[in-house]
């Protein structure tokens, strides 16, 4: 069975496909039912054309390992990585709700909602950083918000794992992030890349701090920090342009403005950790 046949009613191992949730360069995500445990889950299937791509398989394995090492209420959980019918797939927690991208498409998110969302994102990142994991692709589309306001950070497909977790995958994780392993697949999202990531240099937790700043800015303004008609234009702005601070709502607290400016420093020495205690203080109105 190939990925194109995974339509409603299809079976993948013990799982019944219920519908498609989304798709990206590293696979399609399906809503499915676990016939053994009688629960709904999400399945992320590696595209058939990448099954023979050693780098793609390594990234898929790395995503599974990263998620398996993280047990945090603000990070989507993984249940298994399996092969069936010549397909490789992740079995993931099914998270109901909207992505931040879907929310922002309707306009800026009010401060009283955006700041609690940001605090939960920060706590998820800190949990990952404590395990030596850099997300490297934090963006609104990779953050889900449940109907009751719980934030879940998703998609660790580009995660970089520090020693000893990385093992054989370290060389891959150090490849230039904007490199392409196949036509049309870009490793990373230009509008949220830190300058060092955009230049293909070494990334670490401070690169996630930059992306966090981009997401918080976008929640508050309804606009990405850096915009452009092409990837090249966006990357040029990331490297040289300054954010338009005038877009922030007039009622934005000075502490939040300072936080954003620290996150979005061009200098990669963004010398503060995103940790639960300081962020909970900084994100108070």
Enter the tokens of residue 209: 């701090």
Is it the case that residue 257 has pLDDT exceeding 60? yes
Other C-beta atoms within 10 Å of 35: how many? 12
**Residues with active-site annotation:** 137
Q: What is the pLDDT of residues 92-104, one digit of tens each?
A: 999 999 999 999 9
Residue that terminates a domain, selected from 48, 71, 92: 92
Q: What is the CATH number of the domain that holds 81?
A: 3.30.200.20
Same-domain pairing of 141 and 239: yes
Same-domain pairing of 29 and 133: no
Same-domain pairing of 116 and 231: yes
Alpha-carbon distance 215 to 100, whole Å? Answer: 9
Residue that terminates a domain, selected from 30, 64, 92: 92
Q: Running DSSP on this structure, what letter comes out for residue 152?
A: E
Domain of 153 in residue numbering reads as 98-282
Same-domain pairing of 240 and 187: yes
Alpha-carbon distance 86 to 49, whole Å? Answer: 11
Same-domain pairing of 36 and 131: no
Same-domain pairing of 80 and 116: no
Number of domains in the chain: 2
Is it the case that residue 105 has pLDDT exceeding 90? yes
Positive/negative CA dihedral, 95, 97, 103, 109: negative
Q: What is the pLDDT of residues 187-236, one digit of tens each?
A: 578 999 999 888 888 888 899 999 999 999 999 999 999 999 999 999 99
Same-domain pairing of 207 and 146: yes
What lies within 8 Å, CB to CB, of 7 at 6+ separation is 17
pTM: 0.84
Residue that terminates a domain, selected from 65, 92, 119: 92
């Amino acid at each position: 069975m190939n990925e194109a046949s995974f339509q409603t009613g299809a079976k993948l191992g013990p799982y019944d496909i219920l519908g498609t949730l989304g798709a990206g360069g590293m696979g399609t995500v399906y809503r499915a039912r676990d016939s053994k445990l009688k629960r709904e889950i999400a399945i992320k299937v590696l595209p058939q054309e990448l099954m023979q791509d050693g780098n793609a398989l390594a990234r898929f394995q790395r995503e599974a390992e990263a998620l398996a090492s993280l047990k945090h209420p603000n990070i989507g959980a993984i249940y298994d990585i399996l092969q069936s019918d010549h397909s490789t797939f992740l079995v993931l927690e099914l998270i109901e709700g909207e992505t931040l991208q879907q929310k922002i498409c309707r306009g800026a998110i009010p401060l009283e909602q955006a700041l609690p969302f940001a605090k939960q994102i920060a706590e998820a990142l800190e949990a990952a950083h404590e395990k030596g994991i850099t997300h490297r692709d934090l963006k609104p589309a990779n953050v889900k918000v449940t109907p009751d306001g719980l934030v879940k950070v998703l998609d660790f497909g580009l995660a970089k794992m520090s020693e000893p977790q990385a093992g054989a995958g370290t060389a891959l994780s150090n490849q230039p992030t904007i490199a392409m392993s196949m036509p049309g697949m870009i490793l990373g999202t230009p509008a949220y890349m830190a300058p060092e990531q955009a230049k293909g240099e070494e990334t670490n937790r401070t690169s996630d701090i930059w992306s966090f700043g981009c997401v918080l800015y976008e929640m508050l303004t309804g606009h990405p920090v850096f915009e452009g008609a092409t990837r090249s234009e966006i990357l040029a702005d990331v490297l040289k342009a300054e954010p338009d601070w005038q877009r922030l709502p007039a009622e934005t607290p000075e502490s939040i403005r300072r936080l954003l400016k620290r996150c979005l420093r061009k200098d990669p020495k963004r010398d503060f950790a995103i940790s639960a205690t300081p962020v909970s203080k900084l994100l108070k109105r």
